[in-house]
A = this chain, B = another copy of it.
């Protein structure tokens, strides 16, 4: 399992519209092969900044499967116009997870 990580900076005044569009777009990513789950979080210090974490079975499920899909075009149309600058996306493997 790998985690896709992106900090999304949304244009001024567009937070509410972004959140609505994200809710509309969520079923798209959730339907993809290898999708395990995702979280969208809002920054406390900047309410136009969001953290998106998506769990995939493999790196390629995201980078090839999702990004190469027709569904990704719909995702882009719904969401990419909100971002300024366009986010860097990277991927991580868990090393250690602890809970109290």
Contact = CB atoms under 8 A, between A and B. Distances in A.
A26 B98 contact: yes
A100 B39 CA distance: 12
A6 to B, nearest CB: 11
A3 to B, nearest CB: 6
Contact of A91 (B39, B45, B99): B45
A22 B99 contact: no
Given A5-B51, A51-B5, A43 B91 contact: yes
Smallest CB-CB A-B distances: 6 pairs: A41-B92, A37-B99, A44-B91, A40-B96, A39-B97, A40-B95
Interface of A: 2-3, 5, 19, 22-23, 26, 30, 35-46, 49-51, 59, 90-100
